[in-house]
Amino acid sequence: MSMKKGVPSPGRVLLLILAYGLLILSWHISHGSVLTEEALSILAGQHVLEGKAGFTYNGHGGNPGNSSLSYADPLSMGRYGSPCFDAPRLILAALGDKFGGLPGARVTGVLSGIGLAFVMYAAGKILFSKKIGLFSAIIFIFSGIPLYLSKIATGDIYTAFLLGSSFLLILFAGKQASSRTAGLLLAAGSEVLFVAVMTRYTVAIFGLPLFIYVFWRHGAVRTIAFFLLPLSIIAALTVYFSLLPPWETMLASMFNLYRGAGFPLDTLTSRVLQFIAMHYLLAVFGMFHAEGGRTAILLAVLSLPMVLLQVVSNGSQAIAENMIYCIVFLTPAAALGVDKMGILFSTQIPSTWVRPFFTTAIFVVLWVFGLDQLRWLERQHPDMSPVFSFLMAEGSRGMTVTIGSERPGYEHSYRYHLERLSPAVSRIPLSFLTAAPPGEQGIDTRFELLAEAPVNIGEEPVMEPAVEKRPDFIILHEDFERISPVSTELYYAGQDYVLARAFQIPSFSGLENVKLFKRRLS
């Protein structure tokens, strides 16, 4: 692409885009309270740094925000031990937290986000042109989901970066004249793809389409030698040493979840497309572009498996998180679509300013749309800061706390904050006690079992001394309007506990109730 006089070079424009990305991602980075997955990442990173034996967190086991297959992630079965492909990110998150608190931990997301923006530029450039590459980077940095996921310290954007890098390496291999270089790049692409899969199990769904793409572009011999073979070797090793032992547990987890989910198809489709409809809409325009329309179709097809997985698996959670992987493939196609829309809207008016004007106008719309989507996504997670502040103010060193919620994992958020107050705070997660068979599960049962709850997740269950049966605080946290242990408040109130404070936390579904009960002083 030749650049006209007075027009900055693509390199400078890219720097400007990345600088804007850095700015927007750093802006208000301390928003809200810590998310469950963020807390998990930071705590796991701390474990690694502290060199704790029997490292128990291997990714995102407690992440409720994944589709059903990711629930079955064997890496969540911490007790078996497995290679931690997430380790670099976890360590960075822990280090960031150590030096900069929660915003520091979130820098990991920012780095992955900026990295992925560059990957989008490079992919757009290889597939189409420098201009489309720049458009890709802009669209990515203007989109709500990438912004949201890059501003938090979870693993989604990291995995997306790995997936994008793998795709980029595969694309780059296709541009090489030397078959040796192409082969090496393909091998690197396959390894990075595997790492991406290991950090987020659902990404495996892209394995087959990428294999077909490589096969189509490079032929059978090169695909087998440089793509399939390296992938098979590392996969076999990982399966043998890490995945095979928990295989049955993993399958059971998958089927249990599949049986448990039951969203109507149209509701689920709407939810899925809510996050990527704009990208698909732009990509449709890209498909009609005279130069590269077919590639846009190919990219849209590559993005589809995740949508299908989400719909077929009936998984209703973590849709936004999973759709980032679609966006990796869709963004260059959407960029081509913006270019096509610029051509279309300028209706062949022979003035040099018209097309840039309309293209800019389209980007302005996308920018506002993205910011609004970011705002919406940030509202999804309730800001628990008032609860934490209350506990910090009312609590004391060595206190014991029990957290009751239908949502597994909230305890990690509380833990993250309570450990600021005192590393000695013990947590007795009430949610672990709800596993009793239906009919047998009652308030009494729960309470009786309380004493036998493990105090640390992932560690071998430790029987608490009898004196610790009664925690200092009981936190009852409603989740997604589901029936929650909050209904048990009267029971606790009638026993040894008194309601210390009730919070109503605004969330996307309305108000979430959080009630804190304090043990009566005897």
Partner 1 sequence: MKKTNGKIESVRRLIAIVAVVVTVIYLYWRYVYTFNPNAMFFSWSLFGAELFGFVTTLLFYFSVWKLPKREAPPPIPGRTVDVFIPTKDEKVSILRKTLLACNDLKYPHRTLVLDDGSRPEVKALCEELNCLYLARGNNEHAKAGNINFGLQHSTSEFVAVFDADHVPLPHFIDRLIGYFADEKVGVVQAPQEFYNVDSFQHRVDPKHKTIWGEQYLFFSLIQPGRDRWNAAYFVGSCAMLRRKALDEVGGIATGSLIEDMLTSIRLHAKGWSSVYHNENLAYGIAAETLKPFHIQRQRWGVGSWQVFFKANPLFIRGLTLPQRLCYLSSIIYPLEGFQKLIFYLTPPIALITGVLPMRALDVDYLMHFIPYFAVSTFAFNEMARGFGGQVMLEQFSMGKFFTYMKTIVVSLIPRKGKVFKVTPKGESDTSYTPVTLIIPQFIVLFFSLGSMVWALVELLLGYRGDSFVVAVNCFWALFNSGLALAIVQYDYKKLFQRRGKFRVPDTVPVLIQVAPDEKAPQHLAVADNFTEEGLSLFIIGQIPIEKELQLHLILPGKTYRVRGQVMQQRSVTADHHTLSHVGVKFSGVDQGTKDEFSRYIHESAISKFMKEYFTHYKTYLEKRFMDKQRFHERAYRALAYLPVISRAEAGKHTYGVMKDVSETGLLLASRVRLAPGSPVTMDVILDRQRLPLEGTVVRDFFLESEEFPEYLVGVQFDKASREKVPHLLGIADKVGAFLHG
Cα 54 from Cα 57, distance rounded (Å): 9
Handedness of CA 256, 257, 258, 262 (dihedral sign): positive
What is the side-by-side order of every strand in the sheet holding 497-507? Answer: 426-429, 400-405, 473-477, 510-519, 497-507
Q: Shortest approach of partner 1 to residue 329 CB, angstroms?
A: 19
On whether the CB atoms of residues 60 and 201 are closer than 8 A, the answer is: no
376 sits near partner 1 (criterion: CB under 8 A):
yes
Q: Shortest approach of partner 1 to residue 333 CB, angstroms?
A: 15
371 sits near partner 1 (criterion: CB under 8 A):
yes
Query: Pattern 250-289, binding to partner 1, x per CB under 8 A?
Result: ----------------x--xx--xx--xx--x--x-----
Q: Shortest approach of partner 1 to residue 360 CB, angstroms?
A: 11
Cα 251 from Cα 151, distance rounded (Å): 33
Q: CA dist 454 to 71, 457, 475, Å?
A: 22, 7, 17
Burial 15-24 (b: 16+ CB within 10 A, else e): eebbebbbeb
CB-wise, 295 or 488, nearer to partner 1?
295
CB-wise, 169 or 366, nearer to partner 1?
366
CB-wise, 173 or 282, nearer to partner 1?
282
Residue choice 2, 347, 352, 522 for contact with partner 1 (CB under 8 A)? 347
Total number of residues that touch partner 1 (CB under 8 A): 31
| Angle at 236 (CA atoms; ends 232, 241), nearest 5 degrees | 155
Cα 141 from Cα 157, distance rounded (Å): 13
Cα 33 from Cα 478, distance rounded (Å): 16
Cα 73 from Cα 251, distance rounded (Å): 9
Residue choice 80, 215, 258, 369 for contact with partner 1 (CB under 8 A)? 369
On whether the CB atoms of residues 17 and 9 are closer than 8 A, the answer is: no
Which tokens sit at 412?
């990690």
Residue choice 239, 349, 424, 463 for contact with partner 1 (CB under 8 A)? 349
With contacts defined by CB under 8 A, name the span among 68-76, 340-348, 434-442, 501-509 that binds partner 1.
340-348
Cα 231 from Cα 16, distance rounded (Å): 37
**Which residues partner with 513 through β-bridges?**
504
Cα 161 from Cα 170, distance rounded (Å): 14
Query: Pattern 185-214, binding to partner 1, x per CB under 8 A?
Result: ------------------------------
Q: Shortest approach of partner 1 to residue 373 CB, angstroms?
A: 6
424 sits near partner 1 (criterion: CB under 8 A):
no
Question: What's the chain's length in residues?
Answer: 522
Contact partners, residue 447, CB within 8 Å, separation at least 6:
none
On whether the CB atoms of residues 84 and 216 are closer than 8 A, the answer is: no
Residue type for position 219: G
CB-wise, 184 or 354, nearer to partner 1?
354
301 sits near partner 1 (criterion: CB under 8 A):
no
392 sits near partner 1 (criterion: CB under 8 A):
no
Strands, DSSP E only, in 9-167? none
352 sits near partner 1 (criterion: CB under 8 A):
no
Residue choice 80, 215, 345, 363 for contact with partner 1 (CB under 8 A)? 345
Residue choice 67, 373, 402, 484 for contact with partner 1 (CB under 8 A)? 373
Residue choice 94, 319, 366, 401 for contact with partner 1 (CB under 8 A)? 366
Cα 366 from Cα 364, distance rounded (Å): 5
Query: Pattern 9-48, binding to partner 1, x per CB under 8 A?
Result: ----------------------------------------
With contacts defined by CB under 8 A, name the span among 80-88, 105-113, 308-316, 370-378 that binds partner 1.
370-378
Residue choice 178, 351, 352, 396 for contact with partner 1 (CB under 8 A)? 351
364 sits near partner 1 (criterion: CB under 8 A):
yes
Nearest CA-CA partner of 129 in 352, 364, 290: 290
CB-wise, 274 or 495, nearer to partner 1?
274
Q: Shortest approach of partner 1 to residue 271 CB, angstroms?
A: 9
Residue ranges that bind partner 1, judged by CB under 8 A: 266, 269-270, 273-274, 277-278, 281, 284, 341, 344-349, 351, 354, 358, 361-362, 364-366, 368-369, 371-373, 375-376
